[in-house]
Amino acid sequence: MTAARELVHGTCVAFGRRGALLRGGSGSGKSDLALRFLALPGDGVTRPLLVADDQVWVEAGANGALLASPPATLAGKIEVRGIGIVELPFLAEAELALVCDLVDEMDVPRMPPEPWEQAVIAGIAVPAVKLAPFEASAPIKLKIALFLAAPTNPN
């Protein structure tokens, strides 16, 4: 049996190997938030990295985890509005631990539901949150949410 694979419109960033998929319409702030997330400091061993911008392959791995990777033609490239397409270091594959839907700040709940909402991608559920991408604190909120998200495979 072939693992489920889905091409998703979005941007994926990772801290270490834990990835977050940023979803939203055109101009919603996916690439902008990704750039600001990539500027966060690392911890000496791990650091923020781009996985994919604009399109992301998401595949169900053999162990039940979701794996995110860039389409070959977009690997290491991100759109920087007003500057153009820029090449950056990237991670070829990350374990997708979080989906982050980008919404207006008025649509971000003060507290997330317990348990967190879930998004189903390639047939597997993953924790999902809502963030306002243009808030100054959005990159650190994304990092915190990425680490609070339940692991996709607890084994």
CA distance 90 to 103: 26
17-41 residues labelled b (16+ CB within 10 A) or e (exposed): ebbbbbbbeeebbbbbbbbbbbeee
- Over residues 22-47, the mean pLDDT reads 92
pLDDT tens digits, residue range 100-125? 999 999 999 999 889 999 999 999 99
Give 42 or 131, the one with higher predicted confidence: 131
Structural domains in the chain, CATH included, are 5-148 (3.40.50.300)
pLDDT tens digits, residue range 53-79? 999 999 998 788 999 999 999 999 999
Please give the angle made by the CA atoms of 115, 100 and 24, to the nearest 5 degrees. Answer: 135
Q: Are 127 and 9 in contact (CB under 8 A)?
A: no
User: What is residue 34's predicted lDDT score, i.e. its pLDDT?
Assistant: 97
Give 150 or 137, the one with higher predicted confidence: 137
Residue 155 has pLDDT above 90, yes or no: no
Q: pLDDT grade, residue 151 (50/70/90)?
A: low
Give first-to-last CA distance, the chain, whole Å.
22
Q: Which of 6-10, 25-29, 88-92 has the lowest mean pLDDT?
A: 25-29
Residue 2 has pLDDT above 60, yes or no: no
Rounded to 10 degrees, the C-alpha dihedral 124/125/126/130 comes to 130
User: What is residue 3's predicted lDDT score, i.e. its pLDDT?
Assistant: 56
User: What is residue 4's predicted lDDT score, i.e. its pLDDT?
Assistant: 84
Global pTM reads 0.92
